[in-house]
């Protein structure tokens, strides 16, 4: 598939088949992104939800991170009343090492889903570190014929000062290097500089957009934000957070909110910087996005559950 075919497809009215792959136990934005996928029935067909790992905390226990993400997937599916409709899969329990993919249920699900849907694009929405998707392409390169990765991570290519510290890259830098090197059909959504970090919300937004007393409203308006209310995400005395990860499904529901550019895939160096070679394979790079339509779609689809 070509980059232009991918751009044409994401802008089409076709209902897109998606796999959601996220480090849902680390933060609160992944939960909103999964709910987005569930509620966007007119645009997306959610095939599965997968647990990505993370090494947050002093112990850096990646197995614990994956299990925490898996448990949170099950929680969100239950809150949304769809626990029996969508399968959940465990992912990698450790970072990749050079030449060593990490096999898992999630990896095998990506490979199987690609092979079961020849001729149709499958989108993997990867919003955490990426050993699941990188390992799938490493083990079965043929899936690049119909599988597109939308990876949310790293920083804008104009500024790599904070690249090594961006968590979706930092939890598994080798997997990120493989993702950029394997000639994978890739849409890169950078997190920082002028990336998806523009998706800021406040308590006032949640109270206004998610009214009522349904289990979904209570969870996403009250319970989930309350869980993170003691973390230092305050600006001028009020609570503010960034829903980075809803940017991934919104690529397929609201592509008009994004400015994309086809570029040669950057190299992620071992010391955590970008390097460039114009002869490398192309990827689709998000130059910038408009926050308002993405957030409006988020509220709309969560209310639609």
Note the pLDDT tens digit of each residue in 159-190: 999 899 899 999 999 999 999 999 999 999 99
State the pLDDT at residue 227: 85
257: which DSSP letter? G
SS3 content of the chain, % helix, strand, coil (to 5): 40, 20, 35
For 63-122, write each residue's pLDDT tens digit. Answer: 999 999 999 999 999 999 999 999 999 999 999 999 999 999 999 999 999 999 998 999
For 96-110, write each residue's pLDDT tens digit. Answer: 999 999 999 999 999
Q: Are 38 and 16 in contact (CB under 8 A)?
A: no
Q: Which domains does the chain have, with CATH numbers?
A: 3-303 (3.90.245.10)
C-alpha–C-alpha distance, residues 220 and 216, integer Å: 6
Identify the CA nearest to 220 among candidates 24, 35, 27: 35
51-60, 214-223, 258-267: least confident range = 51-60
| pTM confidence score | 0.95
State the pLDDT at residue 231: 63
Report the length, in residues, of the chain: 305
State the pLDDT at residue 58: 46
Q: What is the mean pLDDT of the chain?
A: 94
* Strands, E assignment, 81-177: 88-89, 122-126, 147-152
Q: Which residues on adjacent β-strands are paired with residue 285?
A: 188, 261
Using a pLDDT cut of 70, give the percent of the chain over it. Answer: 95
Which helix H or strand E contains 47, and what residues bound it?
Answer: strand 44-51
C-alpha–C-alpha distance, residues 242 and 44, integer Å: 23
Q: Are 228 and 241 in contact (CB under 8 A)?
A: yes
Which helix H or strand E contains 226, and what residues bound it?
Answer: helix 224-227
Identify the CA nearest to 193 among candidates 267, 274, 270: 274
223: which DSSP letter? I
C-alpha–C-alpha distance, residues 168 and 245, integer Å: 11
State the pLDDT at residue 166: 93
State the pLDDT at residue 232: 58
């Amino acid at each position: 598939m070509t980059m232009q075919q991918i751009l044409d497809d994401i802008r089409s009215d076709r209902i897109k088949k998606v796999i959601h792959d996220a480090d849902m136990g680390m933060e609160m934005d992944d939960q909103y992104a999964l709910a987005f996928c569930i509620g966007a029935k007119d645009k997306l067909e959610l095939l599965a939800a997968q647990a990505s790992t993370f090494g947050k905390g002093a112990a850096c226990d990646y197995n614990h991170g994956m299990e925490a993400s898996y448990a949170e997937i099950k929680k969100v599916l239950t809150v949304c009343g769809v626990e029996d409709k969508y399968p959940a899969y465990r992912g990698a329990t450790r970072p990749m090492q050079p030449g060593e993919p990490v096999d898992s249920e999630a990896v095998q699900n990506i490979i199987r889903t690609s092979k079961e849907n020849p001729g149709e694009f499958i989108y993997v929405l990867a919003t955490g570190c990426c050993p699941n998707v990188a390992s799938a392409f490493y083990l079965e390169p043929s899936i690049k014929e119909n599988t597109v990765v939308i990876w949310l991570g790293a920083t804008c290519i104009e500024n790599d000062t904070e690249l090594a510290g961006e968590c979706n890259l930092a939890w598994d830098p080798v997997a990120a290097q493989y993702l950029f090197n394997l000639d994978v059909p890739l849409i890169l959504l950078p997190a920082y500089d002028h990336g998806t970090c523009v998706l800021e919300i406040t308590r006032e937004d949640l109270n206004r957009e998610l009214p009522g007393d349904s289990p979904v409203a209570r969870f996403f308006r009250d319970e989930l934000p309350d869980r993170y209310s003691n973390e230092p995400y305050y600006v001028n005395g009020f609570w503010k957070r960034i829903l980075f990860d809803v940017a991934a499904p919104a690529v397929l529901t609201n592509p008009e909110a994004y400015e994309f550019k086809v570029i040669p895939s950057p190299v992620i160096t071992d010391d955590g910087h970008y390097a460039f070679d114009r002869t490398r394979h192309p990827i689709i790079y998000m130059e910038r996005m408009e926050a308002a339509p993405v957030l409006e779609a988020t509220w709309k689809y969560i209310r639609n559950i």
